[in-house]
Copies of this chain bind each other. A is one copy, B any other.
Amino acid sequence: MQTIRSIEASQHVGQPVRLTGWLHNLRRLGGITFIVLRDGWGTIQAVTESEADLAPLQNAALESIIALEGRVVASPQAPGGVELHQPRLSLLVPTSEAPPVPLHKPTITAGLPTQLDHAVVVNRHPQRRAVYRLAAGTMAGFRRTLNERHFTEVQTPKLVASATESGANVFELGYFGKPAYLAQSPQFYKQIMVGIFQRVFEVGPVFRAEPHSTIRHINEYVSLDVEFGFIENHFTVMGLVREVMAGILGELATHYAAELALLEAEMPAVPEEIPHIHFAEAQELILRLHGVDVRGEPDLSPQDERWLGAWAQAEHGSDFLFVTGYPMGKRPFYTHPDPNNPAYSNSFDLLFRGTELITGGQRLHRYEDYLAALAAAKLPTEPFETYLEAFRHGMPPHGGFAIGLERLLMQLLQLPNVRLATLFPRDMQRLTP
């Protein structure tokens, strides 16, 4: 007999099938017993009125490993619309202890520390698992969109000889008698590789030693990075951001509908053109609409971003808004200035429902500009020697962006904490599980 996946059962109505998985639930209702099996993709229930059918499950705790044979019967009131009759159960691997958190309840009510301490088992809960399956779908949609546009996927070193973007907030380790650092971002490498492949992307871990304990910070996360050459300016990059977001959300809508439904996700539409507003104009708008004068501030506050998000929704009916032209002062040294107004940059943030989701922009590409930018930032050139070598030997106008995978999921699913978008989060207190 064929062993099928739980979510394939509805294609086998009237047939005998076999399933294997975890004993997800066992529920008695009058003389009827419902046995729920969970496999890697979903759950299915079997129904019996016979105590003899249940004999193999004596002394088996929930989460025991079982096999289940039976006939598939359409049953509108069963979850998934089908159930198994005349079940034949066998116990493959018994367990004796109840899970640390009930996995068969629709939602998890345990506190966050308990959930994280026991993530090894709690992540089996269908709702938690759905979040991580959407992570896989996000990576798939990201890659598909970029592969279709002839980008090359790369893997850059995570062990580096010197701290890159900011000297602080970097993890240091001993490397055969010398210090080494964990990469905070693939920024320099992805730019270097524009010289090799012209268009590149990477999906990989980044490490931030930031001593922040907030709902939005973790110290290791997955970064979806893009960089490409022969752009006009940051608007070329923003055009690609739009296509990548549409590609990710399209992938989720098409292939992960069950997960989105389980999590009651409100999926945004990506407009044909995402509205954009210049940083200075955004500050004027805030003054006009809310009477708060933030002109001259070098960055937007969370409140500013919420106001702008609300404005984009009201004015353009859009969950997304690009803010362009952030002041150069707060952007890293490799940022390309606005040629017409060099106090502002050719950079952008993408706000999603009033919170920053993606940062990107055009980078410097001339060797001389790098020397000048490093001098202006009072940075030595020596730690940047190999980075600079790429620019000495010809680099086109280029730019890119990065998406934090966990933050994207947190915002998309409106999770209360980024740790709930992370299989095994790392924060200041937590290195396990």
Q: Measuring CB to CB, which residues of chain A are less than 8 angstroms from any residue of chain B?
A: 3, 5, 20-23, 39-41, 63-65, 92-93, 95, 97, 99-100, 118, 120-121, 123-124, 129, 132-133, 135-136, 139-140, 147, 150, 152-161, 171-176, 178, 180, 182, 189, 192-193, 195-199, 203-205, 207, 209, 211, 219-220, 222, 229-230, 365-367, 385-387, 389-390, 392-397, 405, 423-424, 426, 428-429, 431-433
Contacts and interface: CB of A to CB of B under 8 A. Distances in A.
Contact of A158 (B21, B180, B220, B386): B220
27 contacts: A20-B230, A22-B394, A40-B229, A41-B150, A93-B396, A95-B367, A97-B392, A100-B389, A100-B393, A120-B195, A120-B386, A120-B389, A121-B390, A124-B195, A129-B197, A132-B196, A135-B155, A140-B153, A155-B222, A156-B423, A157-B205, A157-B423, A171-B174, A178-B431, A203-B203, A385-B432, A387-B433
A389 B230 contact: no
A211 B175 CA distance: 10
A204 B365 CA distance: 30
Given A123-B196, A158-B158, 13 more contacts: A20-B230, A92-B397, A97-B393, A118-B389, A120-B192, A121-B393, A136-B152, A155-B203, A157-B205, A159-B431, A161-B432, A171-B173, A172-B173
Contacts of A121: 195, 389-390, 393
A220 B176 contact: no
Contacts of A424: 156-157, 189
A158 B205 contact: yes
A40 B198 contact: yes
A3 to B, nearest CB: 8
A207 B393 CA distance: 32
A395 B40 contact: no
Contacts of A153: 136, 139-140
A147 B99 CA distance: 30
Contacts of A192: 120, 433
A339 to B, nearest CB: 15
Contact of A196 (B3, B118, B129, B158): B129
Contacts of A195: 22, 120-121, 124
A426 B159 contact: yes
B40 A197 contact: yes
Nearest to A22: B394
A65 B396 contact: yes
A44 to B, nearest CB: 14
B40 A423 contact: no
Nearest to A366: B93
Contacts of A124: 195-196
Contacts of A129: 196-197
B395 A65 contact: yes
Contact of A199 (B22, B40, B205, B207): B40
A111 B170 CA distance: 34
A421 B21 CA distance: 40
A63 B176 contact: no
Contacts of A99: 393
Contacts of A426: 157, 159
Contacts of A387: 120, 433
Most B CB within 10 A of own CB, among A3, A140, A389: A389
Given A161-B431, A432-B386, A63 B393 contact: yes
A175 B140 CA distance: 32
